[in-house]
């Protein structure tokens, strides 16, 4: 009986999945070694989903290892720290490990070779409230290391009655990647200490550690390490089937709970953390160490494949040289071969998401055959772990029918590549799905920008109207004050002036009324508002027409609509004029309150939508590469 067959298995299979060649033995046989301290480190400021961290240092500053060099910006963000001691030599846009190849801000540190730490202190989490613990993890730069880099502090707390199940994602299902395997074999007790902290913080009633059956040594090490735990905890061995490390797939495998589209796993009482993330939580809390390094698998076309504990910001070229990169390597995959991407150049610095670097050669990765037309064989649908219809999504993406793609749950696609792997027509399906998603995001971004512009415009209008009204009220109050003062005066000259003002006001009012009556008689649909009488109706409704058509020449329906609108306006005005100043003020206050309430409701809706989106992202944060 081989080692895999000897492992007891209790699991609940998910739909689909594929089994590509594992290529794990090349790098899993040797222990983790410390990576090089490079002469220069390029530390990206965007190290997590959400906002880029804000730089706290300036060019020329000397920094110590572990010193915070950029603070989290907003809720969905995490701090960034100096991976070694040295001098900041630039803060500028540079290439980063991202498929877009776009530049992002990085802090470049010239190492002083001393690798001198800041003071580190244990964090007394047992006597801290939830908020303080979350802030601490955010400031220690703890993010999901399975590939999704979602800020971990956002996944802690929230469930009042605790969790049913805390799932530890140790499946590591992507071919070539072995960093979690080595971590569990060598540092199982520290991982379990991290699990104990999370179990207590989340009040999880049980903890299930999911490991694929191709890691027998890691399974043994973890089983030995959990032996003394005083809560329900189990290492669950699952079959080696890609993508069992997807959060939804692993939750199904371990708990038999299916997380439906648009539902968060926490709504079902389950939260998922990657095993390497748990290790960093332990190091941050018990040793005061921020996330400044990670274990990364260096494999593929290199002389010494293995796992290296590498400083964040280490140029990929330094790591490849460390592993003995071969001369015929032609490009490099960041992540695994299923979900990873080719880096734009080896000058980019390692980020927290970098779990694996694969040197490619034509022998190891032969050129992909040309794409052929889809033959509707349905193999992609059989392989899809999200139970989608990839051939339909492909067609909608190709024809730019993004609405239809969204209707067919495009955003449930985890981009695992299982469909493309089985496609006999060699269609690079995931490329089409990424294209569709990016087009939808771009459209939503423009819509959001347009909505914001409209809101700004409406608010400015509201403010201008309010200022106009307040100015008029101030003038009226001043005039009334003057009039009252003159009327109350015992000076006959004042009394005469007051009487004159009053008579002039009455004459002006009578003249206005006469003019309005005359215009109504001449043209019954001309506005009664004296301010508007100077503008012919046709001009008002169709400006800038050079020759306004007389009302009688207008379309009868249109003329009727204009007449009704004018009458309504006149009625409103008459009603307003008949009101006492107190009633007018009350009417204005009511109108203002309605506008303010509508604006507050819109702002609250917007904030709720943003929070909902951030939380949903967090629930999907453990990628299959984990």
List interacting residues with ligand SF4 (CB under 6 A). Answer: 374-380, 383-386, 388, 390-391, 394, 413-419, 423-425, 427, 429-430, 433
159-197 burial: b if 16+ Cβ within 10 Å, else e: beeebbbbbbbbbbbbbbbbbbbbbbbbbbebbbbbbbb
How far is 375 from 78, CA to CA, in rounded Å? Answer: 46
Q: Helices then strands (H, E): number in the chain?
A: 17, 17
Residue number, 203 or 401, with CB nearest to ligand SF4: 401
Q: Is the Cβ of residue 16 or residue 194 nearer to ligand SF4 in the bound state?
A: 16
To ligand SF4, the closest distance from the beta carbon of 421 in angstroms equals 8
173 is in an annotated binding site: no
State the Rg of the chain over Cα. 34
Question: Smallest gap, in angstroms, from Cβ of residue 145 to ligand SF4?
Answer: 22
In whole angstroms, the minimum distance from the beta carbon of 415 to ligand SF4 comes to: 5
Residue 413 annotated as binding site: yes
Q: Is 106 annotated as a binding residue?
A: no
- Token readout for 363 is 């022998």
Is residue 384 marked as binding? yes
Q: Which of 169, 266, 152, 285 is nearest to 222 (CA)?
A: 169
* Distance (Å, whole) CA 326 – CA 330: 9
Nearer to ligand SF4 among residue 68 and residue 427 (C-beta): 427
Please tell me whether 179 is known to bind a ligand.
Answer: no
Task: Enumerate the β-bridge partners of residue 294.
Answer: 310
Of 391, 390, 446, residue with least CA distance to 415: 390
**Does 419 belong to an annotated binding site?**
yes
What's the per-residue H, E or C state across 203-242? CEEEEEEEEECCCHHHHHHHHHHCCCCCCEEEEEEECCCE
Any binding-site annotation on 416? yes
Cis amide linkage into residue 585, ω under 30° from 0: no
Of 204 and 427, CB closest to ligand SF4 = 427
Residue 559 to residue 216: CA distance in whole angstroms: 84
**Closest to ligand SF4 by CB, 322 or 396:** 396
- Of 533 and 617, the one with the shorter C-beta distance to ligand SF4 is 617
CB of 244 to ligand SF4, least distance (A): 13
Q: Write down the least CB distance from residue 339 to ligand SF4, Å.
A: 9
Looking at beta carbons only, is 99 or 378 nearer to ligand SF4?
378
Provide CB contacts within 8 A for 602, sequence distance 6+: 455
We find the least distance from the C-beta atom of residue 96 to ligand SF4, in angstroms, to be: 24
CB of 325 to ligand SF4, least distance (A): 30
> CB of 189 within 8 A of CB of 296?
no
Annotated binding site for [4Fe-4S] cluster: 374, 377, 380, 384, 413, 416, 419, 423
């Amino acid at each position: 009986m081989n080692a895999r067959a000897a492992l007891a298995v209790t699991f609940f299979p998910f739909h689909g999945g594929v089994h590509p060649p594992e290529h794990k033995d090349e790098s899993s046989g040797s222990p983790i070694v410390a990576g090089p301290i490079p002469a220069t480190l390029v530390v990206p400021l965007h190290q997590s989903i959400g906002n880029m961290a804000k730089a706290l240092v300036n060019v020329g500053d000397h920094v110590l290892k572990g010193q915070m060099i950029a603070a989290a910006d907003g809720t969905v963000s995490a701090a960034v720290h100096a991976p070694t001691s040295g001098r900041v030599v630039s803060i500028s846009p540079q290439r980063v490990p991202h498929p877009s190849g776009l530049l992002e801000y990085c802090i470049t540190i010239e190492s002083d070779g001393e690798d001198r730490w800041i003071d580190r202190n244990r964090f007394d989490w047992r006597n801290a409230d939830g908020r303080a613990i979350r802030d601490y993890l955010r400031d220690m730069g703890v993010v999901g290391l399975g590939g999704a880099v979602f800020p971990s502090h956002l996944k802690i707390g929230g469930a009042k009655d605790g969790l049913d199940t805390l799932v530890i994602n140790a499946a590591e299902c992507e071919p070539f990647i072995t960093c979690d395997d080595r971590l569990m074999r060598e540092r199982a007790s520290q991982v379990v200490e991290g699990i104990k902290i999370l179990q207590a913080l989340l009040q999880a009633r049980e903890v299930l550690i999911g490991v694929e059956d191709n890691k027998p040594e890691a399974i043994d090490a973890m089983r030995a390490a959990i032996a003394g735990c005083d809560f329900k905890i189990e290492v669950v061995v699952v079959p080696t089937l890609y993508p069992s490390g997807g959060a939804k797939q692993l939750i199904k495998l371990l708990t038999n709970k299916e997380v439906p589209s648009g539902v968060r796993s926490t709504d079902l009482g389950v939260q998922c953390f990657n095993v390497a993330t748990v290790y960093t939580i332990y190091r941050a809390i018990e040793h005061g160490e921020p996330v400044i390094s990670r274990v990364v698998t260096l494999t593929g076309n290199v002389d010494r494949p293995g796992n290296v504990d590498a400083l964040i910001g280490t140029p990929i070229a330094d790591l490849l040289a460390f592993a003995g990169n071969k001369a015929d390597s032609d490009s490099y995959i960041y992540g695994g071969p299923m979900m990873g991407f080719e880096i734009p150049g080896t000058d980019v610095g390692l980020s927290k998401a970098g779990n694996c670097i694969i040197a490619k050669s034509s022998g190891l990765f032969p050129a992909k055959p040309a794409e052929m037309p889809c033959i509707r064989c349905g193999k992609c649908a059989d392989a899809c772990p999200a139970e989608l219809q990839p051939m339909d999504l492909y067609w909608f993406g190709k024809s730019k029918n993004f609405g239809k793609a969204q209707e067919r749950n495009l955003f449930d696609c985890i981009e695992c590549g299982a469909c493309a792997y089985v496609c006999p027509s060699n269609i690079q399906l995931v490329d089409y799905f990424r294209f569709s998603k990016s087009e939808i995001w771009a459209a939503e971004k423009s819509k959001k920008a347009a909505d914001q512009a409209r809101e700004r415009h409406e608010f400015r209008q509201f403010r201008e109207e309010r200022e106009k009204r307040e100015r008029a009220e101030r003038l009226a109050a001043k005039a009334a004050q003057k009039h009252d003062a003159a009327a109350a005066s015992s000076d006959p000259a004042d009394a005469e002036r007051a009487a004159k003002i009053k008579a002039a006001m009455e004459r002006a009012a009578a003249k206005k009324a006469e003019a309005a009556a005359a215009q109504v008689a001449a043209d019954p649909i001309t506005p009664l508002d004296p301010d508007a009488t100077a503008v012919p109706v046709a001009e008002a409704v169709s400006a800038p027409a050079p020759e306004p058509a007389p009302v009688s020449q207008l379309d009868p329906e249109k003329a009727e609509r204009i007449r009704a609108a004018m009458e309504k306006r006149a009625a409103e005005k008459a009603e307003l004029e008949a009101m006492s100043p107190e009633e007018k003020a009350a009417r204005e206050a009511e109108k203002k309150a309605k506008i303010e309430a509508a604006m507050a409701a819109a702002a609250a809706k917007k904030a709720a939508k943003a929070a909902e989106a951030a939380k949903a992202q967090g629930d999907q944060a453990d990628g299959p590469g984990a």
